[in-house]
A = this chain, B = another copy of it.
């Protein structure tokens, strides 16, 4: 669900968000992109253990919890 990433991101990267819970152990990293002139949405892109990139919904409670869990570990 993430569009290919260009060197400099000039537009929104996500065309949708993954709605189902992803177990934290499958997440290799999480990229937070604030909204700005390039895109009106906050974007949260998780790279999974298998290399896939999925867009997550920044307002979803489980997404906030996963981010908190990463920081608190």
Contact = CB atoms under 8 A, between A and B. Distances in A.
Copies in the complex: 2
Nearest to A13: B29
Interface string A10-51: 000000000000001001111111111000001010000000
A3 interface: no
Size band of the interface chain A makes with B: 20 to 34
Contacts of A30: 31-32
Given A71-B42, A71-B67, A32 B33 contact: no
Interface of A: 24, 27-36, 42, 44, 58-59, 63-64, 67, 70-71, 73
Given A29-B33, A30-B32, 5 more contacts: A27-B34, A28-B36, A31-B32, A32-B70, A35-B73
